[in-house]
């Protein structure tokens, strides 16, 4: 595919997209796009519209405890934990009265326990093969204090983090205690950084970049809470990382994006973003992925992810990398639905099918995109 | 201010502390770095009513530490704050040892543990990182003040519990994370040689660090009912919140000064 991409792609709406945008409170350009590339788009809109469908996950910090021990302690406190495809990640069915404060987006998800009950999940979840959970809902028990205010949380025994984010780190192929040097290009608030640290068992080194000084505090807080000792935090523009003349075994680029995938947690994003934002994000992501790939060692791995559905922030970014680096190779991932091989008039590389997408109504996670890129050896 | 290896004096101070807390054997296994946090002027100006503990922002100091006393940043700072401090125009030799005229200035050094030993100081100077590794405490006035992360090391490595501690009940645990002090009746067990005005590690019934405190009494007087016997100085709840707020303000402040 040529690199001369029209970004963003504007798709013409119709009566149906107008109706849906009015019904669910989105901008129409978003809906007209969703109808083109999201599987069962109306089911997703319906699913996202209902906050009862929100799922909460916690990742056990194995630097401080182990999954069995934490599960036992939280069970004793009345929390209902369900296993997921990742052994250190649990879905929490009753995150607590008052809900979870999502500080970084400034949102409070305030709900009572019974609201978490996911009665209509089966009705909208298709197909079963893609369901990442190992079990279904049970009775949710009594009201609990928020899962973000327990002693175990303050002690850093777990991190409240979406399953899809955990999968991104899982795909970095970090074996326990290996002496790898990892770059996290947009680190705050530290969910993935602390996950990498536990994968490395506090060995190796993580260079965590965060440009936004307001977000640095949350990163430092979480690193300290989770007892992470192998991180070097840099307040720099990730696009300029190559100026430091460092090389990395692994690069994680959880790129700043329009966050379409977390509309369920932040309804303001139905209307707060416009096509200019999409273009701005896309342009920055292109610069970031090139910089990240430049500092990758031969045979090293780069994971690119966003919490957006937009192909301009996902497949098109990967295509941009492939067009500019012949030594970049897409590798298959273990979870999620296949990435798009075409969008509008554009045809992507055949291997784009190996990138993966996550949808709330299918995977019970945030909307998410992950691509795994290996730099071919010299 | 850049991160650097320990000076001989700092190493001695830390070794003594590690020894006092019963974890001397792990000292050699850790890579320990320090960074100057603030300068505190010991002489205050009565006219401007400036406290003797007013601090110079880190970034201003880092300019000074990189070269000699003629740094533009420090000059600018001194011009702006003329008359507030009597001893701020002093120079430093590479930011480590104060000059003759700087003896009245007391510094606080932040102490960090980093698990990777393969990176040299020269890289840290080049990168100018915000944080390296885990902060375990501070050195001030030739004395090490442990933080909660240091207490974690103590609890993990001193299995004999041969250090000042108190174990508190669950009710008190839930109050302490909101900064409350400890009543004698909340203490389930304690280090028998505890002294008055001694720093103690506050543990919950699972023997996990909940906070740090200072004892008001010695020995078994620590469990006197109905009175506060331990003042909580740091705890895992407010400690992190304060830390988060402080860092946020300090970072913004520093960036403002850089501009």
Q: Which domains does chain A have, with CATH numbers?
A: 173-375 (3.40.50.150)
A337 touches A357 (CB < 8 A): yes
What does the domain layout of chain B look like in residue ranges? 4-151, 164-239
pLDDT, tens digit, 9 for 90 and up, residues B9-64 = 999 999 999 999 999 999 998 999 999 975 555 444 444 443 333 333 343 333 33
Which pLDDT belongs to residue A11?
85
Percentage of chain A lying above the pLDDT 90 cut: 75
pLDDT, tens digit, 9 for 90 and up, residues A276-288 = 999 999 999 999 9
pLDDT, tens digit, 9 for 90 and up, residues A316-350 = 999 999 999 999 999 999 999 999 999 988 999 99
Mutate which of B202, B203, B248, B250 to disrupt the A interface (most A C-beta within 10 Å)? B248
Decide if B132 and A231 are in contact by the 8 Å CB cutoff.
yes
Decide if B134 and A220 are in contact by the 8 Å CB cutoff.
no
Question: Which of residues 181 through 220 in chain B touch A, CB cutoff 8 A?
Answer: 204, 208-210
Q: Write out the two tokens for A336.
A: 């999620």
More confident residue, B153 or A267: B153
pLDDT, tens digit, 9 for 90 and up, residues A55-94 = 999 999 999 999 999 999 999 999 999 999 999 999 999 8
Q: Write out the two tokens for A291.
A: 């910089």
Q: Sign of dihedral through CA atoms A317, A322, A324, A327?
A: positive
Which pLDDT belongs to residue A9?
85
Which pLDDT belongs to residue B251?
45
Residue A36: pLDDT over 90: yes
Q: Is A178 exposed, middle or buried (0-12, 13-18, 19+ CB in 10 A)?
A: middle
Decide if A227 and B149 are in contact by the 8 Å CB cutoff.
yes
Mean predicted lDDT score pLDDT of chain B = 75
Which pLDDT belongs to residue A3?
54
Query: How far A94 CA lies from chain B's nearest CA (Å)?
Result: 21
Q: Write out the two tokens for B244.
A: 């988060």
Residue B95: pLDDT over 80: no
A314 touches A308 (CB < 8 A): yes
Mean of pLDDT values over A348-362: 97
Residue B99: pLDDT over 70: no
Report d(CA A229, CA A159) in Å as an integer. 17
Which pLDDT belongs to residue B178?
85
Report ipTM (2 d.p.): 0.84
A322 touches A328 (CB < 8 A): yes
B134 contact residues in A (CB cutoff 8 A): 223-224, 227-229
* CATH superfamily label, B164-239: PUA domain (2.30.130.10)
């Amino acid at each position: 595919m040529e690199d001369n991409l029209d970004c963003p792609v504007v798709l013409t709406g119709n009566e149906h997209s107008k109706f849906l945008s009015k019904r669910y409170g989105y901008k129409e350009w978003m809906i007209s796009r969703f109808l083109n590339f999201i599987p069962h788009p109306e089911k997703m809109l319906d699913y996202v519209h209902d906050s009862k469908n929100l799922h909460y996950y916690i990742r056990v910090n194995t630097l401080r405890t182990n999954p069995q021990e934490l599960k036992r302690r939280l069970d004793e406190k009345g929390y209902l934990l369900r296993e997921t495809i990742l052994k250190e990640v649990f879905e929490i069915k009753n995150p607590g009265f008052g809900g979870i404060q999502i500080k970084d987006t400034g949102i409070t998800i305030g709900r009572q326990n019974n609201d978490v009950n996911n009665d209509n999940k089966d009705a909208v979840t298709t197909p079963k093969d893609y369901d990442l959970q190992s079990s279904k809902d049970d009775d949710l028990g009594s009201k609990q204090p928020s899962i973000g205010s327990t002693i175990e949380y303050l002690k850093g025994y777990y991190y409240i983090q979406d399953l899809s984010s955990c999968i991104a780190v899982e795909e970095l192929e970090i074996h326990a205690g290996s002496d790898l040097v990892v770059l996290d290009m947009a680190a705050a608030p530290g969910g993935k950084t602390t996950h990498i640290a536990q994968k490395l068992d506090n060995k190796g080194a993580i260079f965590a970049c965060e440009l936004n000084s307001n977000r640095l505090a949350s990163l430092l807080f979480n690193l300290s809470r989770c007892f992470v000792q192998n991180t070097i935090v840099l307040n720099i523009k990730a696009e300029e990382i190559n100026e430091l003349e460092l090389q990395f075994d692994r690069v994680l680029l959880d790129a700043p994006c329009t966050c379409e995938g977390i509309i369920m947690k932040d309804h303001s994003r139905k209307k707060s973003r416009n096509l200019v934002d999409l273009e701005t994000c896309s342009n920055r992501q292109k610069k970031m992925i090139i910089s990240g790939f430049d500092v990758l060692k031969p045979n090293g791995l780069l994971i690119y992810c966003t919490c957006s559905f937009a192909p301009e922030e996902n497949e098109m970014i990967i295509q941009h990398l492939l067009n500019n680096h012949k030594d970049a190779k897409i590798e298959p991932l273990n979870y999620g639905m296949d990435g798009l091989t075409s969008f509008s008039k554009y045809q992507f590389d055949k291997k784009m099918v190996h990138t993966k997408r996550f949808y709330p109504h299918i995977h019970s996670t945030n909307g998410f995109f992950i691509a795994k890129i290996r730099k071919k050896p010299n | 201010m850049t991160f650097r290896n320990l000076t001989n004096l700092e190493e001695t101070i830390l070794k003594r502390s590690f020894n006092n807390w019963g974890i001397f054997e792990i000292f050699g296994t850790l890579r320990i770095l320090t960074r100057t946090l603030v300068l505190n002027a010991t002489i205050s100006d009565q006219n401007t009513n400036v406290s003797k503990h007013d601090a110079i922002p880190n970034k201003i100091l880092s300019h000074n530490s990189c070269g000699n006393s003629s740094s533009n940043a420090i000059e600018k700072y001194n011009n702006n704050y003329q008359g507030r401090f009597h001893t701020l125009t002093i120079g430093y030799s590479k930011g480590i040892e104060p000059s003759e005229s700087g003896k009245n200035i007391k510094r606080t050094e932040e102490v960090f543990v980093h698990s990777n030993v393969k990176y040299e100081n020269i890289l840290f100077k080049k990168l100018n990182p915000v944080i390296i590794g885990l902060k375990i405490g501070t050195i001030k006035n030739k004395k090490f003040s442990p933080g909660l992360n240091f207490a974690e090391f103590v609890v993990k490595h001193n299995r004999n519990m041969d250090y000042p501690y108190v174990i508190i009940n669950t009710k008190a645990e839930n109050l302490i994370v909101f900064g409350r002090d400890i009543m004698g009746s909340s203490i389930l067990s304690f280090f028998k040689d505890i002294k008055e005005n001694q720093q103690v590690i506050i543990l919950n019934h699972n023997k996990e660090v909940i906070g740090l405190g200072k004892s008001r009494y010695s020995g078994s007087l620590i469990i006197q009912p109905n009175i506060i016997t331990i003042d909580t100085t740091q705890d895992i709840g407010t400690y992190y919140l304060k830390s988060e707020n402080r860092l946020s303000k300090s970072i913004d402040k520093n960036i403002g000064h850089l501009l």
